[in-house]
Structure 1
Amino acid sequence: MESQLARKKADGSNYRILVVDDSEDILQLLKAGLGRCGFDVVTASDGQDAMARSDSEIFDLVLTDICMPGINGNALARHIKYIKEEVPVIALTGSVDLAGDHFDIVIKKPFRINFILNLINDFIVR
């Protein structure tokens, strides 16, 4: 599975993923797991930082929590879809019932990293 996920984009660059969560454990888990598969992973610990990054950087996919202090995942997803509608935004949350309609898919925590890798494969690695 790892070699299948480590494919590069047509221009030779790695896929870039923004991971947003107020849990340092989740950020580190996803950064390590996705990084081992060849993805460039950028992390943000809150919605405000993630929103600023999405305005100034290009990402191929966003993984975000919903319940965060300040700007929550729903507002972040809405903002990202407004800027670049084709970027997949996946919610990783313990509160599925709070998910708005700007997410491409909503995943309940806890999750398995292999499940997330398969989702990324479905959304951006073609």
Structure 2
Amino acid sequence: MNYTLAEATAIDQELSNRFIDLDRSGYFVIFVDVNEKLICAKYYTNFIDERGLACDPETGKPIPCDGTVTRLPTRLFSGRTAKEICVQIFEQTTDCLVTQLDHAAYLGREFQRAETAMLTGQEYIQD
């Protein structure tokens, strides 16, 4: 079956709205450093409370998604390609930063999107 780009985009947009369990280990904020030509990922720790909310380990309070709370990352990763940054996170890190397979798959997709955006000069916005 052949699909159009519009159909593939619609499928992706629909799937982006599904419920997902958050990784109890932490989360990544991904961005592209255009000047350095690098894919970057800031890693933040969290814990998941009984309501399923990601909470700050220091304050115990839920972490808002709107960026109103400033937190410091515990790790920073960068790479020239999606594969390079994935190798750093999944193969060269001794502590387990990702505890769920769906989170690992999501990160791989996002790093590939970031790489494509960087190489084509497009803006990258994390999904």
- Scaled by the length of structure 2, the TM-score of the pair is 0.28
Which protein, 1 or 2, shows the higher relative CO under an 8 Å CA cutoff with sep ≥ 6?
Answer: 2
Q: Which has the higher helix share?
A: 1
**Larger-gyration structure (1/2):** 2
- TM-score of the superposed pair, with normalisation by structure 1: 0.28
